[in-house]
Structure 1
Amino acid sequence: MLFSWRGGPGAQSLLLSLLLLAAWKAGSGQVHYSVLEEAKHGTFVGRIAQDLGLELAELVPRLFRVASKGHGDLLEVNLQNGILFVNSRIDREELCGRSAECSIHLEVIVDRPLQVFHVEVEVKDINDNPPVFPERKKKIIIAESRPPETRFPLDGASDADIGVNSALIYRIDPNEYFALDTQNNREQMSSLSLVLRKSLDREQIQEHSLLLTANDGGKPELTGTVQLLITVLDVNDNAPEFDQYIYKVTVLENAFNGTLVIKLNATDLDDGTNGDIIYSFRKPVSPAVLHAFIINPNSGEIRTRGKLDFEEKNLYEISVEAIDKGNIPMAGHCTVLVEILDINDNIPEITITSLSLPVREDAQVGTVIALISVSDRDSGANGQVTCSLTPHVPFKLVSRTLNNYYKMVLQSPLDREEEVVHHLLLTASDGGNPVHSGTLRIHVQVVDANDNPPAFTQAQYHMSVPENVPLGTQLLMVKATDPDEGANGEVTYSFHNIDHKIAQIFQLNSYTGEISNKEALDFEEYKIYSMEIQAQDGAGLMARAKVLVKVLDINDNAPEVTMTSVTTSVPEDFPPGAIIALISVHDQDSGDNEDFLMFIFMAIIPFLWVENGD
């Protein structure tokens, strides 16, 4: 495929920017910036919102925030324009020490939906630290018998900067007796020595004073000095000598107090006290060495002192000198490099960087509940951490691999009515032997959703009531339950499609479900009342049940004769018991109430007839 581009330099620059942007989007998604240390407050670092593909208008609604573990508020983001700027003083040396690489790692988090971006801001060094010697004045004792080309080790200056800003060049005052020699040995250690160029004569000059100057490679360059006070002595003409200039040893970080690290041995060709040697750490001695080690002045044994910690310091450089006991003491020097070996003595740590609680019971499967990071200060397999979650449902962990991050997501649907709070246990285990584990408990509360309609305890309710029941009597109570919470579970009752006449007779308590009569019941008018009750929760879900009220008759009606008079003719020879006339009597009651009245009435008729016959 051929592509032709005829644009000018500006268009070519635009094309290059577009290609870089496409390459970034296709890559890991991590944004890189750089900033000079000591930059002023407000210094522009980068258009972070634009580079992450976020709209300015959504920064606040999506809860845009920046987290930097252990780095406080060095950098901040202006939510109005999406620019990352320097918020407070950044000191590269305080942040990273002498490390060649120094970066601030930011976690940019936005919600709705949840996204996490990783931003790396490289802090570049400036030449803001001058070289510093351990002492302002250095006293050196040299016997006049020492031959030319004898070397005397000097403590070089240290520069907290890195790179060219810490590249030091040394010089001393011009003189005829001494010269400087700076070289790097095979161990990549810079060695600074004072070299005797001409034999000394104590009778001519008893003391030499030279100014040693160190210049760094920064622009502008910075300078440090130390005054060398050289005293020339007589007599003892052999200095103790070690069989090596550099010793290398290893010690486990869990070594007991007093563990032997190394036994040094220096020899002196002199006899008597001139050959007796005292061992010591060469001054100045760093506090770290004094805290961790002790040397026996007579045997040269170096032993551990106190507790070692690989995670705090894993390499010690110890300068040792052997001084004889001659009237004019002479010294030999060596360096012991002690490497601390790691053991699995740190428990993995679990940190919740984002937590979305509580969770609605209708949350979709795959919803992110929490972002979790795990770490272990140990090295190698001892510091490799895996994280697990119990119980395994309805949540699960998804490893993000980048920087030991995990997502806790919803694996299966929730049901608040089955479990209101899920008690989860996060366990982080390292790869050491034995394995060390750290735990963290998370309590996930499930918020109710209206997923249950009310349910009546019965599909139909039956009730028999005498017709003379007093007004306002509670006839029966319907009951519907809803397992949902709050308003979703609050049930109210109402009549559904009720007949107008029935609505006049009965009333329903909408909160308790009690049904009572507000008018008198009349068996002769309605023998059975049928109605439908509706139960509805606070979110509108409904259920219905039927209620049948059967009215029981009472003897509340007198018999009624349908005629007011009867006229008939009876022959005088009519036999007793013969029917003279039929009288119609009506009673609105039913059952025994009606049958009993008819029986009494029919018994009177024959009785009256007999009397008339007399």
Structure 2
Amino acid sequence: MYQGYSSIRGTLLSPTKILKKEKMTLSLRSDKDRGDGTARYVLSGEGAGTIFRIDEKSGDLHATQRLDREEKASYTLQAQAFNKITGLPLEPATEFIVKIHDINDNEPKFTKAVYTASVPEMSDIGTFVIEVNATDADDATYGNSAKLVYSILQGQPYFSVEPETGEIALSNMDREVRKEYQVVIQAKDMAGQMGGLSGTTMVNVTLTDVNDSPPRFAYSSYHLSTYESAEIGSTVGRIKANDGDEGENAEMKYRIVDGDGKEYLDIITDETTQEGVMVIKKKLDYESKRVYTVKVEVTNTHQDPSFSDLGPFLDTAIVKVTAKDVDEPPVFSRPQYVFEVNEDTPKGIAVGTIAAWDPDATHYPIQYAIDQHTDPERLYHIDPKNGSITILKSLDREVSKWHNISVLASEINNPHQRSRVPVLIKVLDVNDNAPEFAMIYETFVCENVKAGQLIQTISAIDTDDPLVGHKFVFTLSSMNPNFTIFDNEDNTARILTRRSGFNRREMSVYYLPVVISDSDYPIQSSTSTLTIRVCSCDATGNMRSCSVDALLLSAGLSTGALVAILLCILILLMIVVLFSALKKQRRKEPLIISKEDVRDNVVSYNDEGGGEEDTQAFDIGTLRHPEVIESNKLRRDIIPEMLFPYHRPSPMKECADVRDFIISRLQENDTDPFTPPYDSLATYAYEGNGSIAESLSSLESSVTEGDHEYDYLSNWGPQFKKLADMYIGKDTGVAN
């Protein structure tokens, strides 16, 4: 049994602190060791051979290096004794524990190097600010090496610290005196005794603002000045109150509470600079008042009721504004003038009078003038001295109801100082225009109309503007057998028929004069003519046609008949031209005089024909000898789409007369189905039998010595008129 193994008999021979570390020497001895040097000690376990070393002969255990309890507080080792000679163990290995005893070799350390805290100013004494905390690496269970005590090194008398917990509290402080504080806190071990180790930390404390300071003006009164010509809303000056608070607690508002200038001045708050801006509320007048005084009050926008015991949070000051004189332009008695004048007012009559004066103390005389740009027609004139406006030209309300002119007033001594005023002249109406139809009426009457039937309702307009409204009276200028008028007494009238049945052939258009009168003074009247067309209508009164051409077509007049009428007119024109060209005519020329016949016959058609051998296309012999009866044969110049049975009528026996000849030819063309579908023009040169003019040829007229009667138109004109009338009467059924 080894001595000290079972009970760990080792003893700490010389514990020594070296650089905050521990060094020890421990002696181990086995009971089997006889002391003859045959025993050998062997060490194993934690740190064996490195941290701990054992003397093989004596069994002394040594620490080879400094030990740190904060790194490892204990080590577990095994020691065993062997016989050097036999190498056999003298006894079993024994385990033992080496514990490192603590020494105060670590100073306290705070969890933060710098702490930050804030607290409202004016807080109560002892108000908690922040808690600081420090730690010590030494063994808190062994001695006082880790027992800490907190103290304040800097920050008194404003702050205090709880020694055991590290809680920092404050005393009564004013932020306006000092806003930020730096507090130094110390933590010391060994319960604060001498020789203990310590550590420190910094605590930055900021006092937050509360609205505990009212605004205050720097002066009891302020003096400002501005020109009397300053515009409304312009700035006069600025004043500012001081407030020790900050942020929203320093926001202020200004207002005028009293003073004789309260009506003319106003104050607004500049939210950026917290200044009171004095502005013009109403135009100042140097001549009437030189100094304007107001009392200005300033208060905090946000007030804290907790500090109501400190008194009212407001201040007042007197502000005096001096108006400075300027040379002002003339001032009119009114901002604008409105005059009325009748449109029949004679020239030279006054419309009204303008008045202006110099507002300055000098009271310079004023002269007046009309801005010609506003009166381009030069209708008005103003007296430059007394401001009386007169008429230069006649006025017409129907041309312009209002005249807007500008009148200028300027100082005689300083023409640059001038002002203008609008003058509105209303032209009053005079009944000088007669009423007339309100529109152009398209009126018609049916042929089958009954007596008393309404054909048109008419109304009137008048450019005049009476005060009580228009009242028109409608009448006919004279008794009319066909139509009558009925006044509805509401500025309209009805046109009625007086008889039944109208005939377009007899009269296609009627003109009805209507007299329209007004009721104003003097009474004006006019006559307007209503055009009434006669039209064909159906049984319900709806118009179908009103033209005369439609009437002729409806009577059965064919297109060929119309062409014949036009042909007759053309022949008459040709005869007139021919008679005017002839100078002399003695005898009748034969129908065919020779091959050199100078007369031309022109026939226009679209078929070329068969050349010289084609004699069927057109036979001119018919024009020269109408008595010859042509054979009934088909034309070869046009191939008809279908053949119609046709019998060409024989010429009239009494065709010697031109009338019979033309009628015969017209009938042939009208009834011939083989005539071209296009229009053709044929010139018939047959003079007719028994012409009193004999031949129309001018040949041999020059050899006649005596004068010849050339008044063929007077002889032939009645015959052609009779011919046309007879033809129209026969063909259309219209009476001559």
Above 0.5 in TM-score? no
Query: What's the TM-score, normalizing by structure 1?
Result: 0.44
Structure number with the bigger relative contact order (C-alpha 8 A, sep ≥ 6) is: 1
Structure showing the higher strand proportion among its residues: 1
Larger radius of gyration: 2
